[in-house]
């Protein structure tokens, strides 16, 4: 099932401006959201206001399935990173997608597996590893998605919010890793290759 097919079925496209909140912790889930254009981040926020990035979702992807499927209130905020168009698919329709479209079902299983893999990796890092190790792991993970010579389009703050560290620690850590030759930086940007 892709976006076009959902549109063909007559589902409405909702438009959100950058930094809109789609849902927040405690809300009872009613939809799965398919992203037509734009990008969202899923973040949990501590009492002291510190953010942790649970995931980032882009055009063509969907989010919010787990809470809907196990019928539990959301744990996280989901917030648009850019102007974003979403299609909200209700519970009934989503369940029938799973039941009636084997390809979609298989795809969903693999998507969930991938997310589990990432979270397992990060849990190990947060539970057991120090700042430098955490940073190197995420950076290498993110470098997979880009080509030689390109640079990572993430700020130190975002790296901090993915690793549970503070910006200052990330800044010092990245500098140290670059010094040791474990990563390459150009004008502060982390570069692949």
Partner DNA sequence: CACTAAATATGACACAGATCATAATTTTGT
Partner DNA sequence: ACAAAATTATGATCTGTGTCATATTTAGTG
Single out the residue of 186, 167, 185 nearest to residue 176, CA to CA. Answer: 185
Environment class of 28 (CB within 10 Å of its CB; exposed 0-12, middle 13-18, buried 19+): exposed
Both tokens assigned to 167: 């910006």
Establish if 117 lies at the interface with its own copies (CB under 8 A). yes
Establish if 91 lies at the interface with its own copies (CB under 8 A). no
By CB under 8 A, the count of residues binding its own copies is 41
Establish if 109 lies at the interface with its own copies (CB under 8 A). yes
Of 8, 12, 92, 102, the residue at the interface with its own copies (CB under 8 A) is 102
Of 131, 142, 146, 191, the residue at the interface with DNA (CB under 7 A) is 131
d(CA 9, CA 131): 48
Single out the residue of 111, 85, 88 nearest to residue 18, CA to CA. Answer: 85
Binding mask 5-44 for its own copies (x = CB under 8 A): ---------------------------------------x
């Amino acid at each position: 099932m892709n976006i076009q097919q959902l549109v063909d079925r007559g589902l409405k496209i909702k438009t959100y401006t950058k930094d809109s909140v789609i849902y927040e912790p405690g809300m009872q889930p009613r939809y799965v959201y398919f992203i037509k254009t734009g990008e969202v981040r899923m973040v949990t926020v501590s009492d002291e206001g510190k953010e942790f990035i649970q995931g980032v979702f882009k055009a063509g992807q969907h989010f919010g399935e787990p809470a809907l499927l196990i019928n539990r209130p959301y744990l996280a905020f989901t917030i648009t990173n850019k102007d974003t168009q979403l299609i909200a698919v209700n519970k009934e329709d989503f369940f029938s997608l799973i039941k009636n479209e084997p390809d979609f079902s298989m795809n969903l299983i693999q998507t969930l597996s991938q997310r589990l893999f990432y979270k397992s990796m990060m849990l190990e890092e947060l539970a057991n590893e120090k700042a430098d190790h955490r940073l190197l792991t995420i950076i290498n993970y993110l470098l997979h998605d880009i080509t030689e010579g390109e640079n990572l389009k993430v700020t130190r703050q975002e790296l901090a919010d993915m690793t549970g560290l503070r910006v200052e620690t990330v800044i010092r850590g990245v500098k140290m890793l670059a010094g040791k030759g474990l990563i390459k930086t150009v004008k502060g940007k982390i570069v692949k290759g």
